Structure 1
Amino acid sequence: MYRHQRHVYDASRKYYLLGRDRLIARLQPAPGATVLEIGCGTGRNLIAAARRYPHARLHGLDVSSAMLDTAGRRVARAGLSSRIRLAEADATAFDPAVCCGAARFDRVFISYSLSMIPAWRDVVDGVPRLLAPGGALHVVDFGDQAHLPRWLRQGLRRWLALFDVAPCDDLPALLRAVAARSNLSVSVEPLYRGYARYAVMHNP
């Protein structure tokens, strides 16, 4: 799908992938912290995070080799190749030590990628093993659109389905269940009348 879309991805997605910059602003990693983006796509978010947090070490993984090719080129053009490490991997089953050279991370973030992964629940289940003490997962993705007009909600979902995107309606419940099993804390915030949601899972 992204062999061709990657060339116009960022120009088109900025109009409806809402909340991405809010997530980057809230990451707030300490100097020297390790940050992982799951489903890094074109590298747009990693580059923005690297510029905002110049003392953080960033990693990105994606299952699409085409997207990673674009990400690698963009990272190089931005002069950030020494600070951003990219890896091709399946988010549902990967060894972080092999892909990233780190077993755990101070921040993990997922921006509009869970809704594109058929086995997204497996990704969420695996998050606790990725979080260092004091680490946190930040997620922004499509919400349930509960407070949008019905016609708009139905039209949005039909349109998203054309791109194999399916909002993760039970994400809040799963996050809370995973957090409870691992003694983590979790918060979920609806954005833009439920168009999107922002969630944080924190390892004390």
Structure 2
Amino acid sequence: MTMTSDHGRLMDDVYRYQRLFYDVTRKYYLLGRDELIDRMDVRPGQSVLEIACGTGRNLAALRARHPDARLYGLDISEQMLLSARRKLGAGVVLAQADACTFDAQSLFGIARFDHIVCSYCLSMIPDWQRAVDEALRHLAPGGQLHIVDFGDQAGLPRWFRTGLRAWLARFHVAPRDRLTDTLDNLGGRVARVEHRGLYRRYTVHARVTG
């Protein structure tokens, strides 16, 4: 069995029942998602892909804010996609795929996107650097990759950071402390990298312009 299928099966096991109350519980600690959506400059007709779209919560918010955008989502977990399909219905194209290796042309009939969103997914993807590379590979010229995820919590008490990370590990989540360094080292591959910490670096927002 491949690593992709192993991770997909793990995510299905994790979310088989959690997906039923995921949106209600996660709003208390997946902070900064709405701020990211509010800061996105999506123009009518532009394409937006969310990688690891989960229950479709962010795509629903994007659709409400940008009704003329073309929306797409992928997730490795078929269980999560069950909830996303029920929430979103028609108008948003969804597919099961691995964030580290996917063919958007085959999945969606479109090779590159004006905007790509990674919301609290890199902290759950074992080979998260490869997922960043794959997102950039599918970014249209001048397009933007938007990331929100756990930061290094540098501004918070040590006891809080230790407890948070121990609790997150129970759900196979690991904050990527080198995320901003990795983005800063993209060098000539992209036009611009911006990032900022929120809530004492509990959360990091990043925007990469291709």
TM-score where L is the length of structure 1:
0.94
Q: Distance in 2 between matches of 1:144 and 1:34?
A: 31
Residue aligning to 1:62: 75
Q: Distance in 2 between matches of 1:126 and 1:117?
A: 12
Structure 1 residues 34-82: Cα deviation after superposition (integer angstroms, max 9, x where no partner):
0000010000000110110011000000000000011001112xxxx12
Matches within 5 A, 1:126-137: 126-137=134-145
Percentage of matched positions with identical amino acids: 54
Matched, 1:50 2:63: yes
Residue aligning to 1:186: 193
RMSD between aligned residues? 0.9
Match of 2:29, SS state, is coil
Matched, 1:17 2:24: no
Matches within 5 A, 1:106-185: 106-178=114-186, 180-185=187-192
Matched, 1:40 2:53: yes
TM-fit CA distance, 1:184: 2.3
Q: Which runs of 5+ in 1 are unaligned?
A: none
TM-fit CA distance, 1:117: 0.5
What amino acid sits opposite 1:129 in the alignment?
Answer: R
Q: Distance in 1 between matches of 2:108 and 2:191?
A: 24
TM-fit CA distance, 1:181: 3.7
TM-fit CA distance, 1:128: 2.4
TM-score where L is the length of structure 2:
0.92
Matching residue within 189, 192, 209 for 1:202: 209
Matching residue within 71, 78, 81 for 2:84: 71
Match of 1:41, SS state, is coil
What amino acid sits opposite 2:39 in the alignment?
Answer: R
TM-fit CA distance, 1:185: 0.8
Structure 1 residues 94-129: Cα deviation after superposition (integer angstroms, max 9, x where no partner):
001111211110000111011011111101122322
Q: Distance in 2 between matches of 1:43 and 1:125?
A: 23
Q: Distance in 2 between matches of 1:86 and 1:124?
A: 20
- Alignment size in residue pairs: 197
Question: Contact (CA 8 Å) 2:74, 2:95: kept in 1 or not?
Answer: yes
Matching residue within 107, 114, 124 for 1:99: 107
Q: Which runs of 5+ in 2 are unaligned?
A: 1-13
Question: Contact (CA 8 Å) 2:151, 2:204: kept in 1 or not?
Answer: yes
